[in-house]
Structure 1
Amino acid sequence: MNNQTDIVIVGAGPIGIACALECKKRNWNYIVLEKGALTNSLFNYPLNMTFFSTSERLEIDQIPFISNNPKPNRDEALEYYRRVAVSNNLNINLYETVTSINKDNNTFTVTSSKKTYHTKKVIIATGFYDIPNLMKVPGENLPKVSHYYKEAHPFSMQHVIVVGASNSSVDAALEIWRKGGHVTMVIRGNSIGERVKYWVKPDIINRIEEGSITAYYNSEITDIKTDNVTIKTPNGLKTLKNDYVVALTGYQPNFQFLENIGITTSNDGKQIPTHNPETMETNIKGLYLAGVICGGMETHKWFIENSRIHAKQITKHLESQL
């Protein structure tokens, strides 16, 4: 059975929720389609993650976000966005994956894993956490290799290589070490990342300098086997005993999904989707982008706090059309 609506919002993360709130204020007929749980990316963050931002900068629609600490953690964020969605009775369908979006004249056909929708406008707010940047080395598909990190306990008493020097890599390395893991960091650059949280950076540097955590700078993995990993260092190849590899090498938007829809991207390596920065409308009239997906491969450019405004920009542009 077909479903008629004014707006389909793809993605029920914080920015998708913000877009839904703006639609509800205007009494527009909308639906949010989310392939996973509510705020699925946040749900998949490490259990003990603490945000860089303060709670007020993560608020949407001026709804207060009360945290017990100066910087909220994952559980507090999940509670906040869940309460916003439930208390406002937002129209959200969870565990419903959008498989295609096609436009015919002025109508979009949005096909999901469960239904087909006909809508006047589409907002894509799908983030970038679904597809990891692969190392593209032999053995990367072994069960011992993970591109996501949830908690440290499974790695206790194990030899673990953490790949990368970002916030997620540093947090994982420190947590695993504190839970009794033997941690080695393999870092492509010559230092810990510049954007690592300022209160964490001295900790990881001190652990490396005292020898608690081993770090190989200007290095990269070349081969992964069941019980060891070979890395290329400035001093040549080294083979290390290894039980697990946690490769936190970053993530990217689903560019294939955007391409299939017809959204163009820049050809400068950044793959920034074409959109008007004032209205957030893409090269397809009536189809908008919101949130971190707007940055393409520059996944550090947009966050919840600076992309909340996209919801208001989009709905302002739509007011004269719906």
Structure 2
Amino acid sequence: MEILDILIIGGGPIGLNCALEAQKNNLTYLIIEKGTIVNSLYNYPLYMRFFSTAEKLEIANIPFISTAPKPGRQEALEYYQGITRQRNLNINLYEKVEKVSKENEIFTVATSKGEYFAKNVVISTGFYDIPNLMNIPGEHLSKVKHYYTEPYPYAQQKIVVIGSSNSAVDAALETYRKGAEVTMIVRHSEISKSVKYWVKPDIENRIAEGSIKAYFNSEMVEIKERSVVFKDEKGEAHEIENDFVLAMTGYLPDFDFLRNSGIELQGDCLNPFYNAETMETNVSNLYLAGVVCGGKDTHLWFIENSRIHAEMILRNILSKS
């Protein structure tokens, strides 16, 4: 029975960074990823551009060369998948981790394809897998999309975009420019302040001129086959014709998986417990890395500020050995 020094759950940028640190320190490791390499980035909108510059997305001091001031999805895929090939990282793809358990200081990690054993486990699963549902009638209809990739399917259609963050704004602008009739339903009083600074004036101007309709301080009530119902800021109900709903309501970590792994979740945001200096959870030798650390507050951690987690974790593991 092979016992790995580290098993890493999740092959995103931070998971890859943990593997590079393990490799650098001559520790045995394995990444298990349920999709492709940097699967979350692969599922981003096709024309998405990062808020950050390329150097802030680098891992392991490997240069990220971009021809644009802000790299896009395809450049990021080339960068992270290129690192995986060049460094010959040990990674299993399209394999889902189903359970993490521990006995006598050894973890057993059960997956869709087998069973693995490790002295240490790092969970770096991100938060892009589970949509934050509105829990309203009709949300199950096929016209409702919680993931947006490109605008072309929505040409000449009546679109409702729910939300006001970057994903919602990108979806609204891109579908509008491909001929969609776009209405935004926003729970807050304005477009989110976190929207990319070069995009925010664009959406605000389109709303101001009436090209894109926006109802602020409003929320969805029901989704029907040919229409949607929402309440405005006065509490009055409106029903408008609709072909597709792009529900850009955010995403959540897999809290059940974290709980079943023994990790304590705290407060209304279900923040997983971890030591901020070592990233170790309440389960000894079980670590968190990346945006999964934020619980429901998925805007707390990014690639840029969680790159350091890999070094922190490896430092703690090496200090114990």
In the alignment, the residues of structure 2 paired with residue 41 and residue 224 of structure 1 have an alpha-carbon distance, to the nearest angstrom, of 27
User: Matched residues in 2 for 1:14 and 1:223: separation?
Assistant: 38
Deviation readout 1:42-81 (Å, 9 max, x if unpaired): 0000000000000000000110000110000000000000
Partners of 1:230 and 1:245 lie apart in 2 by 12
The one-letter amino acid of 2:13's match is P
The residue number in structure 1 matching 2:91 is: 92
Aligned to 1:249: 249
1:216 Cα offset (Å):
0.5
- What are the superposed Cα offsets for residues 230-276 of structure 1, whole Å, 9 maximum, x if unpaired? 01112411000000000000111000000011100112x12110000
Where structure 1 has 5 or more consecutive residues not aligned to the other structure, the ranges are none
Q: Which amino acid aligns with 1:94?
A: L
Local SS of the residue matching 2:319: coil
Residue 152, structure 1, aligned to residue 151, structure 2 = yes
Matches of 2:96 and 2:207 in 1, distance apart? Answer: 43
Aligned to 1:164: 163
Report runs of 4+ in structure 1 exceeding 4 Å deviation. Answer: none
**What corresponds to 1:117 in structure 2?**
116
Q: Distance in 1 between matches of 2:114 and 2:250?
A: 32
Matched, 1:275 2:240: no
Hey, what's the Cα distance between the residues in 2 that align with 1:206 and 1:164?
Answer: 17
SS at match of 1:293: helix
Q: Which residue of 1 aligns with 2:294?
A: 295
Q: TM-score, normalised by structure 2?
A: 0.99
Question: What are the equivalent positions in structure 2 for 1:182-221 lying under 5 Å apart?
Answer: 182-221=181-220
How many Å separate the matches in 1 of 2:78 and 2:125?
20
1:19-48: CA deviations, max 9, x gaps? 000000111110000001110000000000
Q: Deviations over 1:85-144 (max 9, x none)?
A: 110000000001000000002000000100101111000000001111101100000000
Tell me how far apart the structure 2 counterparts of residues 271 and 123 of structure 1 sit (CA, whole Å). Answer: 19
Aligned equivalents of 2:46, 2:282: Cα separation in 1: 38
The amino acid across from 1:79 in the alignment is E
CA drift of 1:3 comes to: 4.4
> d(CA) in 2 for partners of 1:16 and 1:257?
17
State the secondary structure of the residue aligned to 1:64: coil
Distance 2:206 2:299 in 1: 26
Q: Could you tell me how far apart the structure 2 residues matched to 1:185 and 1:253 are? A: 26
In 1, Cα distance between the equivalents of 2:6 and 2:60? 19
Give the Cα–Cα distance (whole angstroms) in 2 for the partners of residues 19 and 33 of structure 1: 12
Counterpart of 1:265, as a letter, is L
Aligned residue type for 1:244: F
* TM-score (ref. length: structure 1): 0.98
> What CA distance in whole angstroms lies between the structure 1 residues aligned with 2:316 and 2:182?
51
Matched, 1:102 2:101: yes
Find the aligned partners of 1:86 and 1:305 in 2 and give their Cα distance. 22
Distance in 1 between residues matched to 2:225 and 2:269, nearest whole Å: 35
After superposition, the C-alpha distances for 1:205-224 in whole angstroms (9 at most, x for unaligned) are 00001110000001111011
Secondary structure at the residue paired with 1:319? helix
After superposition, where does 1:41-120 map in structure 2 within 5 Å?
Answer: 41-120=40-119
Identical counterparts, % of pairs: 56
Q: In the alignment, which residue of structure 1 is the partner of 2:226?
A: 227
The verdict on how the C-alpha distance between 1:44 and 1:82 changes in structure 2, with shifts beyond 3 A counting, is same
| 3-state DSSP of counterpart to 2:266 | coil
Which residue number in structure 1 is paired with residue 314 of structure 2? Answer: 315
Contact 1:3 / 1:116 at 8 angstroms: preserved in 2? Answer: no
CA distance in 2, matches of 1:177, 1:22: 44
Matched residue SS, 2:62: coil
Which whole-Å CA distance do the structure 1 matches of 2:164 and 2:133 have between them?
15
Contact 1:270–1:296 at 8 Å: present in 2 too? yes
Aligned residue identity for 1:303:
F
| Equivalent AA in structure 2 for residue 38 of structure 1 | I
- Cα shift at 1:4: 2.7
SS at 1:99 equivalent: strand
Q: 2:220 is aligned with what amino acid? A: I
1:6 paired to 2:5: yes
